[in-house]
Amino acid sequence: MKISKHNNLIKLAPPKKSEVFKSYWKFAQKRQDAFYSKLSGENHPLTDDPIIREYKFTNCFRASDRVSQYLIKNVIYSKEWSLRDTVFRILLFKIFNKIETWELLEREIGELSYSNFNLALCDQILEKARASKAAIYSAAYIMPSGSQKKYGKIKKHQFHLKLLKTLIDSGFHETIAQSNSLEELYKKLLSVESLGKFLAFQFTIDLNYSSWFNFSENDFVVAGPGALDGIKKCFVDPGGYSAEGIIKYMTDNQDKFFEQFGFKFRDLWGRKLHLIDCQNLFCEVDKYARVAHPDIPGVSGRTRIKQVYKPNTNHFDVWYPPKWGVNNNILASQAQAFGV
């Protein structure tokens, strides 16, 4: 959905909220507090919310999640990369979306760039990993395979490596660099074989973390399947709003609703929730509501949370795209905390 500057001039029938609506904002506050508690090195448990304590939930801000942090720090901004290498590295990483797969390729090949990309060698490395029963794809989402009618009995990773090579060889990086909006970038990614709406939008956000693209995350959003579940649970009736309109409604009114319910939400060092973050929060509140509000159905009919939270006491730091202007605020807050 393209977010129009004139949307606020249109009077839409107001959405009718369910009891899960309040839980959306409660979850956001509690989950963000847990993020800050972990960042400061506090002992477990990181939250007094029993559901967040027991089950695994992503961060309120998408860019704070472990895999996104690795992408930003180690894939995109490890040094200054050309447009071609930036797009190549992001897409290669995101296809598998698994840190261990990226590091395996780096160990075997060295610094990953398109100039040293050897499809046959990558295939050999990944096939060896598969033979040893290692998972080379993340379980966070499913990467579709290529058409057997078109490619025959090609293995999934072979299809993706070939697809990536074809894209770069055809100058796809230059094509998407000419995009004039986040929506246009998304549509170009949506045209890529096997990428549906959900993956195309996720890849759009990942590419937009880099310095080669500079669109606001509040310009455009696509509601994924999990978000549709969360929206269904939060609203008895969406009124005149589309799913993307509901996400904008939440984003635009976040301060109002946090204050209304008395939840003191700590933003990301001055950066408020953007459309992608509120979209993701709907996915997470869908899961949260399976325990907190088991009688309120979503779209998918899922009733259990599969992943249990496993505490990790390793110290971690966060770092965000420099264009956001957040990193200096982090340094300033750390200096103040330690009295520097």
Q: Cβ(199)–Cβ(141) under 8 Å?
A: yes
The Cα–Cα gap between 202 and 35 comes to 22
Alpha helices in the chain (DSSP H): 20-39, 50-54, 66-70, 83-96, 99-109, 119-131, 148-151, 156-169, 172-177, 182-190, 197-208, 225-234, 243-252, 254-261, 275-292, 327-337
> In whole angstroms, how far apart are CA 28 and each of 20, 21, 31, 301?
12, 11, 5, 23
Q: Where are the domains of the chain?
A: 10-64+221-337, 78-208
**pLDDT at site 275:** 98
User: Between these two residues, 59 and 194, which has the higher pLDDT value?
Assistant: 59
Q: Cβ(218)–Cβ(249) under 8 Å?
A: no
User: For residue range 157-189, what is the model confidence (pLDDT) as tens digits?
Assistant: 999 999 999 999 999 999 999 999 999 999 999
The Cα–Cα gap between 178 and 68 comes to 24
Q: State yes or no: pLDDT of 139 exceeds 90.
A: no
Helix axes 225-234, 243-252, angle to 10 degrees: 70
* Percent of the chain topping pLDDT 90: 81
Q: 336: pLDDT confidence band, cut at 50, 70 and 90?
A: low
Q: Name 147's Cβ contacts closer than 8 Å, sequence gap at least 6.
A: none
pTM of the predicted structure, to 2 decimals? 0.92
Render the burial of 153-171: b for 16+ CB within 10 Å, e for the rest: ebebbbbbbebbbebbeee
User: Between these two residues, 315 and 249, which has the higher pLDDT value?
Assistant: 249
Q: Cβ(137)–Cβ(158) under 8 Å?
A: no
Q: 330: pLDDT confidence band, cut at 50, 70 and 90?
A: very high
Q: Which residue, chain included where needed, has tokens 């330690």?
A: 338
Q: State yes or no: pLDDT of 10 exceeds 90.
A: no
Token pair of 85, please?
């290498």
The 3-state DSSP class for residue 267 equals coil
Exposed/middle/buried for 141, CB within 10 Å: 0-12, 13-18, 19+? middle
How far does Cα 68 stand from its chain's mean position? 7
Residue 308 bridge partners (DSSP):
55
Residue 271 bridge partners (DSSP):
268
- Whether cis (ω within 30° of 0) applies to the bond prior to 321 is no
**pLDDT at site 148:** 62
Token pair of 87, please?
């797009």
The Cα–Cα gap between 203 and 219 comes to 16
**pLDDT at site 5:** 47
Q: Cβ(194)–Cβ(146) under 8 Å?
A: yes
**pLDDT at site 334:** 66
Count of C-beta atoms within a 10 Å radius of residue 11:
7
Q: Name 46's Cβ contacts closer than 8 Å, sequence gap at least 6.
A: 33, 34, 37, 38, 53
